[in-house]
Structure 1
Amino acid sequence: MQITILGATGRVGREVVLRALADGHRVHALVRSADKLGLSHPQLTAIVGDAREEAVLERAVSGSSVVISALGTDGGDTLSACFPGLLAVMEQQGIQRLVTVGTAGILESRTEPGLLRYQSSETKRRSTRAAEEHHAVLRLLQASVESLNWTLVCPTYLPDGPYTGVYRTEQDYLPEGGLQITVGDTADFTYLEAVRGTFIRCRVGLAE
């Protein structure tokens, strides 16, 4: 199977690339710089360009069965600016599986029903800019064509750390008492969800 990975040079994205290659998949990694990817593999193709440009996205997803986005918010609007074009290109090419990594801030609040966590007193962050970017993506996904089988992975605090295999998931909410989840475990769940499709057209909270 061929998998396209956006944000392949980020902490989670790079681990997903390695996992997909280890399982024998062909990978298209969309990057701004091939040098930054720092990987060489016969099954890996680096697509260099700006994720906000549809022509670049067309090349990146061409021939793929699955798209995984690990794009960060980087203080700008790259994430929300990319997604309208990405969804359009995927629909044009008949690609129905999309997994994107978001943030626990856009899960439902347990304490204030009707609000997302970043809108409620549950948030500990002074700035909500990143959550607002991910919320914009959530709105696009919720309004997308029914044939798009999307999953929005929402990890809580994300320190560097290896795969442990010890973590919990919950649809639309952060697992009770969840405080953190390693990069390795987040990448593991993201990759497995992309190929298995357990959570379809919903968010999934992720924590140890």
Structure 2
Amino acid sequence: MKIALFGATGRTGSEILRRALADGHDVTVLVRQPVAERARLTVIEGDVRTEADIKKTIAGADAVISALGTDRKTMLTDAMPLIIEAMKEQGIKRIITIGTAGILNSRLTPGVLRYQGGDSKRRSTFAAEEHEKAFRLLEASELDWTVICPTYLPEGEACGKYRTERDFLPEGGKEITTGDTAQFAYRELFNRKFVKSRAGIAY
């Protein structure tokens, strides 16, 4: 499979990249700074806010994975419309993105999201608001999308033992490592159990 990966230098994206290359897939990444060359890896230096760089990255891809974050900026919401449009133009349907548990459905307040309903203890809602905007763009598209929504995300290797739930955070879930989040996102590319839905993930 040929995979286009955005956010490949981040904590979760780098682990997704490692897994995909280890399994023999061809991966193209878009990065701002040079990264080490590896077999089956194509590196494009550019900006996720630039249409031409997005198109070049996903050209010929079978699927797209985005592990782009927010980092108090609008990079995610600047990039997502460009990614969706480029996928539409090139006839690519499958996309998996890493979101946040804040955009899952609230258990406390039906009809709203966790960050709106009091489920989340985070004081700042900027990241959740940005992730919601990206989610709504995907939801309105005709793509076969999945948004992986981890809760508190510490560094850590994959243990493979976690819980997932469609559109909700598993009850009592407090955290999930970057390793297990990457493992689940990568597996979902092939399992397709959460197409056109959000997937909450936690221990």
TM-score range, shorter chain: over 0.9
Deviations 1:112-159 (A, max 9, x none): 0011000111111110000000000111011112xx100000001000
**Mapped pair 1:30 → 2:27:** no
Please give the alpha-carbon distance, in whole angstroms, between the structure 2 residues aligned to 1:130 and 1:114. Answer: 20
Aligned to 2:172: 177
Q: Distance in 2 between matches of 1:19 and 1:30?
A: 17
Q: CA deviation at 1:42?
A: 1.7
Q: For 1:75 and 1:192, locate their aligned partners in 2 and report how far apart those are by CA, in whole Å.
A: 29
1:182, 1:126 → 2: CA distance?
Answer: 22
Equivalent position of 1:163 in the other structure: 158
Structure 1 stretches of 4+ moved >2 Å: none
Give the 3-state SS of the residue equivalent to 1:56 in structure 2.
helix
When the two structures are superposed, what TM-score results if normalisation uses the length of structure 2? 0.98
Counterpart check, 1:89 vs 2:86? yes
Partner of 2:63: 66
The equivalent residue for 2:9 is: 9
Match of 1:141 in 2: 138
> Hey, what's the Cα distance between the residues in 2 that align with 1:22 and 1:184?
15
State the alpha-carbon separation in 1 of the partners of residues 17 and 167 from structure 2.
26
What is the letter of the counterpart of residue 150 of structure 1?
W
2:114 to 117, 123, 145: 117
Report deviation, 1:188: 0.1
Alpha-carbon RMSD across the aligned residues, in angstroms, is 0.8
Q: What TM-score do the two structures reach when normalised by structure 1?
A: 0.96
- Does 1:20 find its partner at 2:7? no
In structure 1, list runs of 5 or more residues that go unmatched: none
Structure 2, unaligned stretches of length 5 or more?
none
State the aligned residue count: 203
Q: Give the Cα separation in 2 of the matches to 1:132 and 1:166.
A: 29
- Percent same amino acid among aligned pairs? 53
CA distance in 2, matches of 1:111, 1:74: 27
SS at match of 1:140: helix
Shift of 1:195: 2.3
SS in 1 for 2:199: strand
| Cα separation, 1, equivalents of 2:62 and 2:113 | 31
Partner of 2:38: 41
Aligned equivalents of 1:192, 1:54: Cα separation in 2: 28
